[in-house]
C-alpha cells in the first residue's frame, strides 16, 4: 500500500475500542483446484472479537496467494469489514513479525501470545464438523 493510500485509509477509518484475535491456521481438509493438481491444506485467516467472540472476518488463501503480503492486506480488509481500526490485534508469537509493520502504521497495539483461544476453539469446532 502506498503512503498516499495509507494516509487516505487512516483518515477514512477511526479507532474503535475492539480487541481482535487474528489467526492464521491451516484448514483440516485438503483441497485441489483441478483434478490433476496435488491436494494441499488451505490457510484460513480469521478475526474474532475477543469480547463478543463473534467471527468478524475470514478469508481462505490458496497456494497462489498464501504469502505474508496477502496476510498483511487482510488486516486492511478486516478494518474495512468492521468499519474501524481496532485498539488491539492479538496474534501468535510465530506470526507477529508478519503483522508488526501494519500494526505500527495503523497505531494498533500488537499483542503476541502463545495461543489464541477463540481462534483455536473455532478451528476445533470446524474439525469436529468435518468428521
The string of DSSP letters for 55-86 reads EEEEEEE-GGG-SHHHHHHHHHHHHHHHTSEE
pLDDT of residue 6: 83
Which domains occur in the chain, in start order?
3-28+40-130 (3.30.420.10)
The pLDDT profile of the chain, 131 residues, written as one tens digit per residue, is 778 888 888 889 999 999 999 999 988 788 888 889 888 888 899 999 999 999 999 998 876 677 888 899 999 999 999 999 999 999 999 999 999 999 999 999 999 999 999 999 999 988 787 66
DSSP 7-48: HHHHHHS-EEEEEEEEEEEE-SS-B-SSTTSPPBPPEEEEEE
Q: What is the pLDDT of residue 75?
A: 94
- Residue 100: its pLDDT value, please? 95
What's the pTM? Answer: 0.88
- Torsion, CA 112, CA 118, CA 123, CA 127, rounded to 10: 150
Dihedral over Cα of 29, 46, 104, 8: its sign: positive
DSSP-derived letter for residue 88 is E
Cα separation values, 58 from 37, 62, 78, 81, 111, Å: 25, 13, 8, 10, 20
- Give strand pairing partners of 23: 46
- What pLDDT shows up at residue 30? 85
| Cβ-proximal residues to 101 (8 Å cutoff; 6+ apart), any chain | 72
Amino acid at each position: 500500500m502506498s503512503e498516499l493510500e495509507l494516509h487516505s485509509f487512516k483518515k477514512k477509518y477511526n479507532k474503535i475500542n475492539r480487541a481482535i484475535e487474528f489467526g492464521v491456521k491451516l484448514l483440516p481438509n485438503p483441497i485441489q483446484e483441478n483434478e490433476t493438481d496435488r491436494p494441499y491444506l488451505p490457510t484460513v485467516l480469521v478475526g474474532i472479537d475477543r469480547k463478543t467472540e463473534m467471527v468478524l472476518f475470514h478469508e481462505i488463501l490458496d497456494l497462489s496467494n498464501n504469502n505474508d503480503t496477502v496476510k498483511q492486506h487482510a488486516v486492511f480488509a478486516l478494518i474495512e469489514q468492521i468499519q474501524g481500526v481496532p485498539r488491539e490485534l492479538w496474534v501468535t508469537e510465530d506470526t507477529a513479525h508478519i503483522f508488526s509493520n501494519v500494526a505500527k502504521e495503523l497505531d494498533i497495539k500488537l499483542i503476541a501470545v502463545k495461543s489464541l483461544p477463540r481462534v483455536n476453539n473455532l478451528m476445533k469446532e470446524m474439525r469436529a464438523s468435518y468428521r
